[in-house]
C-alpha cells in the first residue's frame, strides 16, 4: 500500500497568514493526488485534484503543487473559514489512501 504522510500534524496561524502543508507519498504517484478540507462535524470537501487543479468554486487563495512523492497545499492568506483539517489522498492505485490530516488552528 502507498503510505501518505502529512506535515505538520497541527499548524497554528492567524488570519491573513500564508501557510503550507506538505504531503509525502511512500512511492511515486505522478500527480495522482487530491486535497480535501474538513470542518468540524462536516463532510470533507474536495479542494484540488491532479495535484494542482483547483475544484470549481474553491477560492484562488488555495493552490497545490508537486509530483512524484512530494506535494504541497498552500493557502496564501488565511481566512476565518479556512481553519479546518486538511487531508491529502493518493489515487494512483488501489487501495486509495489518505494522509493522517493537518489541523489548521487559530493562533
Binding site for other proteins (CB under 8 A): 32, 34, 36, 38, 43-46, 49-50, 55, 87, 89, 91, 94-101
Minimum distance from CB of 96 to other proteins (Å)? 5
Question: Smaller CB distance to other proteins: residue 13 or 101?
Answer: 101
Question: Smaller CB distance to other proteins: residue 15 or 46?
Answer: 46
Minimum distance from CB of 12 to other proteins (Å)? 19
Angle at 104 between CA 74 and CA 101, to 5 degrees: 85
Nine-digit cell at 43? 463532510
Separation between Cα atoms, residue 77 and residue 69, nearest integer Å: 26
Minimum distance from CB of 78 to other proteins (Å)? 22
Separation between Cα atoms, residue 6 and residue 22, nearest integer Å: 6
Per-residue DSSP letter, 82: G
Amino acid at each position: 500500500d502507498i503510505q501518505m504522510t502529512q506535515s505538520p500534524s497541527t499548524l497554528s496561524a492567524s488570519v491573513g497568514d500564508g501557510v503550507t502543508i506538505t504531503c509525502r507519498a511512500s512511492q511515486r504517484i505522478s500527480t495522482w493526488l487530491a486535497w480535501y478540507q474538513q470542518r468540524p462535524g462536516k463532510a470533507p470537501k474536495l479542494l484540488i485534484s491532479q495535484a494542482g487543479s483547483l475544484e470549481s468554486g474553491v477560492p484562488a487563495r488555495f493552490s497545490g503543487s508537486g509530483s512524484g512523492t512530494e506535494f504541497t497545499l498552500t493557502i496564501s492568506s488565511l481566512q476565518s473559514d479556512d481553519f479546518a483539517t486538511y487531508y491529502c489522498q493518493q489515487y494512483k492505485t488501489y487501495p486509495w489512501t489518505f494522509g493522517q490530516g493537518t489541523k489548521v488552528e487559530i493562533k
